[in-house]
Amino acid sequence: MIKSFFKTAWRNISKNKLTAFINVFGLAIGLSCSLLIWLWVSDELSYNRFIPGTKDVYEVHINAAFNGDIRTATVTPGPLYEAIQQNIPQAAYATKMTYWRDALFTVGDKALNEKGTYATDDFFKVFPLPAIDGNVNQALASIDQVIITRKIAEKYFNTTHAVGKTILIDNKRNYTVGAVIENLPHNSTLQFDWMINFKVQEEDWMKTWGNLSFFTYVRLRPRADLQHTETVMHSIYKNFAPKGFWSNYPTLQPITDVYLYGDYAKGKPAGGRIEYVKIFSVVAIFILLIACMNFMNLATARASLRAREIGIRKVTGAGKASLVGQFMTESFFTCVLATLFAIVLTWLILPVFNQLFEKQIQLNFLQPQLWYTLAVLVVVTTIVAGSYPALFLASFNPVRILKGNIRTQVGSVTSIRKGLVTLQFALSAFLIVGMLAVSKQVDYIQHKNLGFDKEHIIYLPLAGDLYNKLDTYQGELGKLPYVESSVPVNQLPMDLNSTSGDLSWEGKPADLQTEVVATATGYGFAQTLGIKMMDGRDFSRDYPADSSSYVINEAAAKMMNMQQDAVGRQVKFWNGPGRIIGVMKDFHIASLHTPIKPLILCLTPGNTSYLMIRLRPGQIKEAIAAVNKLTRDFNPAYPFEYHFADETFEQMYRSEMQVNALVKYFGVLAVVISCLGLFGMISFTAERRTKEIGIRKVLGSSVVSIVGLLSLESLRTIVIAMVIAFPLAYWVVNEWLASFAYSTSVGIQLFVIAAVGMLLLSGVTISFQVIKAAMANPAKSLRAE
C-alpha cells in the first residue's frame, strides 16, 4: 500500500508540474529559511555551554539603589573577590579578571599585539579549560609565567608544546610559557589569547570599593542553594566595604545567561540578545507557515480535479483512513523533496550567511541534533501543510461526485482559501513593517548627532616609547599638516564603561548613592572630539593647577544640582580635592540603549591607554602614512596599529545591524513565498475560468475589464491582510523601540511604503497570468461548447 501511495504521489507531481514546482520550491525556501534561523538561534543559545560544569558557574554583578531605583553593574570592585572567598562558604572557587587588553608579544624577529587579560589564581578552577601542554593552575599562580592559546603557540613557536619557551611582553619583561590551552570557541563571552597573574599589574586604585572595573566569577559547590547564596552575599558590603556603600549588594547571573540577557531592570536580567532569539524564532515560524499555506491553498484549489478519482476510490472500497494516508503520503513526499532542496540551498548560502553575521555555523551531518531537527521539520511541515487537504479530500461524498455535483463539495473551501491567503499576506505585511522599522532605527543610530564628531578620528594604543615620550610625540604630531589635534584617553569616548561611586561634594546628601562614569585624559579632550563646552574650559597646559581639577558633563552637573554654577565648585574624586573648571555639553558615552550618564574627566595623562588623533579631511591616506612614519620613528619596537573611531562606534551596534539584515532578507523571502503562492492561485483560477473569460469576450468585455475582474479579488484580499497586520506591527515595533533610550518614531510613512510595495509586487505577480488569460483567443476556449 505504501508503495502505491508513493507511486500515486509521483504521478501527481509529474502531471501537475507547475503546482509541484511552486509547492516544492516554496516549501524549500521556507524550510531553508527556518533551518538557517534554527542554526543561528542554536548558536546564540550555545554561548558558554562548552565550560565543564557550567551549571554551577555564575558572573557576579552589583546592584545599587539610586533614589528608589535599582541599577545593575556587570563590573565589580576589586576587593569583592577576596570578600567572597572569605565570607561565602557556598562558593567553591572565585576569581576576578580585567578587561581584555593588547600586549606586544616579541619572539625572535616576530612582534605583534595580542589580546589577553590578567586573572587571579583560581581562574582555571572556576573555568576548568583543558590544557594542551603544561599545568594551568601552577602557571597562573606564578607571576613569571604566561598562559597562551593554541593559536599563539603555533604562531610564535610552530608547535603546541611551548611550555618553557620565553616571550618578551611589551618590551619590558620576559615571561615563560607555563601552559598552552585550546583556542576559546567563538561562542564564548571569555575571549583571550594570553593570561597572566592579576598581581603583576595590581595598583592601589584597584583595591577600592568605589571603582567598578573588574569581572568577578564564582563556581558554587554542587547542590548549593542559589537563593540562599545570594541572601548571604547581601551582607558582603556591610561586612567589608565603607559605610557609604552599604546599600549595594552582589547578585549572581548564570554564565550561560550572560550573553543572552545583557539588559537589566530593577536589579534583574530583563532582556538583551534573547529578544532577537525570540523574534527570529517567530520569523522562522511565520515563514514556514506561509510556505505551508501555499501548499494547502493549491492542494484544496485543485480538489475538483481529483474529485472523481476520490469518488471511484471510495466506491471501490477505499476507506477515509486509506485516503487520508494517501494524501498525507503525497504531502510527505513533497516535503522530503523540498527538504533535500532546502539542505542544498542552506549549504550554498551558509558561507555568505556566516560572513554577513560574523558566525562560524556549519551543517554538521555527523551531529545527531541536525538530523533530529530535519526530521521534526519534515514531520511538522507534512502535518501542517497536508492535514487539512487530506481530511478535506477524504471527506468527499462519492454519490454526489459521480453524479457530477462537484460544486457543492468544493464550494465551501473557497472561503477557507481566501482566509489562508489573507493570513499569508498578513504575516508578510507584519514582517515588511518590522523590516522597515528596524532599518529606520539603524539608520537613525548611524546618523544621530552623538554630541561629538567621530569622523576623521583615528586612535592608537599607547605602548612603549609612545607612552614614555607622550608629550614629545604629541608635539611632533601637531607639526604635521594633516593633524588638527590629539588627546590621550584611558577609554574610548564612544564606549566609556568604568564607573565609580567615589565622587563627593559639599552638600551631598548622606544617603545619596551616586554613579559616575570616570576616565583619565590629557589636554585637548573637547577640542579633539569636537565637544561643545557649555561653561568654563577644557584642561590646558597654560594652567598647571589643572592636575587637581575636573571637567564634567551636563548630566553630572544636574546630578549634583549645579546646573547654573558648577564651574569653580569644589569636589573630591580620584585626584583628591579639586574644583570643576568646565562643563561639557552631554554626548553619548555608550550605546543608545542607555541614557547619558554623569561623566567626570581626570587630568592624568600617565594613566591613559589610547591616543586619539583628529585628521584634517581630504587627505586621510596621506595623513595615515605620515602618522605611521612618525610613530615608527618614535616606537620602532611596536607595530603601527590604528583604528577609525566611526568604525568602532558601528561595532557597538553590530547586533542591530545584523538584525536589520536578517529581518530584511527573511522579510523579502516571506513576500516572495507569498507571491509564489499567489502566482499559483491566479494561474489555477485563470485556467478554471477559461470558458467564462471566453464568453465575456464574445459578449463584448474588454481586456482591461477582464484583467480588473480577475485582479480585484486578489488585491482586495491583500488590502484586508494589511488592515489586520498593521496595528499588530505598530504595537510590536513600538515595544522594540522602547528598548532604546533614544529612538526614531514609527511614522505613517512606514505603513504607506509597506502597503504600496506589497500592492505593486502583488500586482506584478498576478499581471502576467491575468493578462495572458484575458488576451487569449475565445474561439479556442469555447470550441468544446
- Residues 104 and 236 grouped into a single domain: yes
**Predicted confidence band of residue 309 (pLDDT cuts 50, 70, 90):** low
- Residues 487 and 626 grouped into a single domain: yes
How many Cβ atoms from other residues are within 10 Å of residue 657's Cβ?
Answer: 18
- Residues 496 and 564 grouped into a single domain: yes
Give, in order, the Cα–Cα distances in Å from 105 to each of 109, 168, 388, 392, 461: 10, 6, 66, 72, 14
Taking alpha carbons only, the member of 576, 571, 579 closest to residue 535 is: 579
Determine contact, residues 200/143, Cβ cutoff 8 Å: yes
What is the mean predicted confidence (pLDDT) over 591-606?
Answer: 85
Q: In total, how many domains does the chain have?
A: 3
Q: Which residue has the higher pLDDT, 685 or 471?
A: 471
Last residue of a domain, one of 215, 236, 258: 258
Full domain range(s) for residue 331? 1-47+272-411
What is the mean predicted confidence (pLDDT) over 95-112?
Answer: 90
How many Cβ atoms from other residues are within 10 Å of residue 26's Cβ?
Answer: 27
Report how far residue 514's alpha carbon sits from residue 600's, in angstroms, rounded to the nearest whole number: 12
What is the mean predicted confidence (pLDDT) over 477-487?
Answer: 91
Element (H, E) at 317: none
Q: Within a domain: residue 400?
A: yes
Determine contact, residues 614/607, Cβ cutoff 8 Å: no
**Predicted confidence band of residue 408 (pLDDT cuts 50, 70, 90):** very low
Give, in order, the Cα–Cα distances in Å from 210 to each of 98, 127, 150, 378: 16, 27, 37, 57
Most confident option among 54-58, 464-468, 718-722: 54-58
Q: Which regions of 522-618 does DSSP assign to beta strands (E)?
A: 533-536, 550-553, 570-573, 576-584, 599-603, 610-615
Last residue of a domain, one of 623, 651, 679: 651
- Residues 166 and 289 grouped into a single domain: no
Report how far residue 770's alpha carbon sits from residue 704's, in angstroms, rounded to the nearest whole number: 10
Summarize pLDDT for 748-767 with one digit per residue, the tens: 888 888 888 877 777 776 66
Determine contact, residues 30/284, Cβ cutoff 8 Å: no
Give, in order, the Cα–Cα distances in Å from 309 to each of 12, 113, 290, 312, 562: 12, 74, 29, 5, 87
Summarize pLDDT for 346-366 with one digit per residue, the tens: 899 898 888 877 788 888 888
How many Cβ atoms from other residues are within 10 Å of residue 425's Cβ?
Answer: 30
Report how far residue 90's alpha carbon sits from residue 84's, in angstroms, rounded to the nearest whole number: 10
Give, in order, the Cα–Cα distances in Å from 11 to each of 7, 16, 115, 382, 390: 6, 9, 62, 19, 17
- Residues 525 and 596 grouped into a single domain: yes
Last residue of a domain, one of 596, 629, 651: 651
Asked if pLDDT for residue 643 goes beyond 50, the answer is yes
What is the mean predicted confidence (pLDDT) over 713-732?
Answer: 85
The residue type found at 718 is I
Q: Within a domain: residue 341?
A: yes
Classify the C-alpha dihedral 224-226-228-233 as positive or negative.
positive
Determine contact, residues 385/329, Cβ cutoff 8 Å: no
Q: Within a domain: residue 616?
A: yes
What is the mean predicted confidence (pLDDT) over 495-505?
Answer: 80
Asked if pLDDT for residue 537 goes beyond 90, the answer is yes
Asked if pLDDT for residue 702 goes beyond 90, the answer is no
Report how far residue 230's alpha carbon sits from residue 90's, in angstroms, rounded to the nearest whole number: 10
Kindly report which listed range (65-74, 201-210, 454-463, 669-678) carries the lowest average pLDDT score: 669-678
**Predicted confidence band of residue 631 (pLDDT cuts 50, 70, 90):** very high
Average pLDDT value over all residues in the chain:
82
DSSP states of 490-502: SS-GGG---EES-
Kindly report which listed range (2-11, 131-140, 250-259, 365-374) carries the lowest average pLDDT score: 2-11
- Residues 62 and 26 grouped into a single domain: no
What is the mean predicted confidence (pLDDT) over 645-655?
Answer: 73
Report how far residue 433's alpha carbon sits from residue 727's, in angstroms, rounded to the nearest whole number: 10
- Residues 486 and 581 grouped into a single domain: yes
Report how far residue 286's alpha carbon sits from residue 729's, in angstroms, rounded to the nearest whole number: 14
